[in-house]
Amino acid sequence: MCSPKRISADFRSAEPAYDTVLAYPLDDSQRDLEITISTFDDKQLSWSRLGDDPMFDHVLFHAVSVDEERNHVEFLAKFDANEMIILHRHLADTLTLVVAGDHVLYEKDRSQRDSRPAGRATSSPAGDVHREGGGASGAVVHYSVRGESDALFDLLDEDEKVVLTLRTGDVVELLAAQENAWGRDRAASPRSTSSRWRVSRANTWADRQPSEPQR
């Protein structure tokens, strides 16, 4: 049995949203792990949409860290209550920790697969296709993604055709935008952070092409 990987989170806040060590199981015998989260205040963090198009509805993001050389990224996702985001495929091994609320996973047909309460840590392999969202009170989930390449997630249409590929460079842009805005009014409304994400509402999914690798 391999040892859990330990990751410390620093959210660059004068009053940290939470201060703990996240222990993630890395083998199938410890696929899920319950962790106690003592405090969490999402108002201490800046939250951003990935773009204006409806395919980015029902979730906001806060980037934590990026290792471009190894394609390792850390971010928080804040899901709306009783909603689900676009169908997508994980292209990298993903470790998650539910920080607040209930993280709900759905199959392609929108039937519920799982509901993970706050404190649940889960290790998921690359290749999984699903939808996800928040429970009755929404959810905040920490993601630790370990990519083999810069391609991390494929956003999919109902036929599982790729609409857009999310890459390491996109998280770099998100983190840079947060750092540039640090010290400004954190109560401002969520904003789009990267022009690459701004997709016209008039376009159909079939018109959109997967993004080119960032170099």
Note whether residue 173 is domain-resident. yes
Structural domain count of the chain: 1
Note whether residue 52 is domain-resident. yes
Residue 138, both tokens: 């929404």
Note whether residue 213 is domain-resident. no
Residue 56 belongs to a domain with what CATH number? 2.60.120.10
Q: Where is average pLDDT lowest: 11-25, 67-81, 137-151, 167-181?
A: 11-25
Kindly report the average pLDDT of the chain as a whole number.
76
Q: Which residues, other chains included, contact 156 with Cβ-Cβ below 8 Å and sequence gap of 6+? A: 86, 87, 88, 89, 129, 162, 163
pLDDT reported for residue 75 = 96
Contact in structure between 191 and 48 (CB atoms under 8 Å) = yes
Residue 125 main-chain phi, psi, to 5 deg:
-80, 160
What CA–CA distance (Å, rounded) separates 102 from 167?
26
100 against 30, higher pLDDT: 100
Over residues 185-196, mean pLDDT: 46
pLDDT at 2 over 50: no
DSSP string computed for 112-132: EEEEEETTEEEEE-TT-EEEE
What CA–CA distance (Å, rounded) separates 98 from 55?
23
What CA–CA distance (Å, rounded) separates 2 from 25?
8
Over residues 67-83, mean pLDDT: 96
Residue 46 main-chain phi, psi, to 5 deg:
-90, 135
Q: What is the pLDDT of residues 114-135, one digit of tens each?
A: 999 999 999 989 999 999 999 9
Q: What is the pLDDT of residues 6-51, one digit of tens each?
A: 333 333 333 333 333 344 444 444 445 555 555 677 787 889 998 8
Residue 176 main-chain phi, psi, to 5 deg:
-65, -40
pLDDT reported for residue 206 = 32
Residue by residue, what is the 3-state secondary structure of 20-81?
A: CEEEECCCHHHCEEECCCCCCCHHHCCCEECCCCHHHCCEEEEEEEEECCCCEEEEEEEECE
Contact in structure between 131 and 50 (CB atoms under 8 Å) = no
**Position 209 confidence tier, pLDDT thresholds 50, 70, 90:** very low
pLDDT reported for residue 12 = 35
Note whether residue 200 is domain-resident. no
Contact in structure between 196 and 170 (CB atoms under 8 Å) = yes
Note whether residue 17 is domain-resident. yes
In one-letter notation, the amino acid at residue 101 is G
Cα 113 → chain centroid? 18
Note whether residue 212 is domain-resident. no
Note whether residue 186 is domain-resident. no
Q: By residue range, what is the domain housing residue 46?
A: 5-181
Highest mean pLDDT among 4-13, 93-102, 184-193: 93-102
Q: What is the pLDDT of residues 158-178, one digit of tens each?
A: 999 999 999 999 999 999 888
pLDDT reported for residue 183 = 54
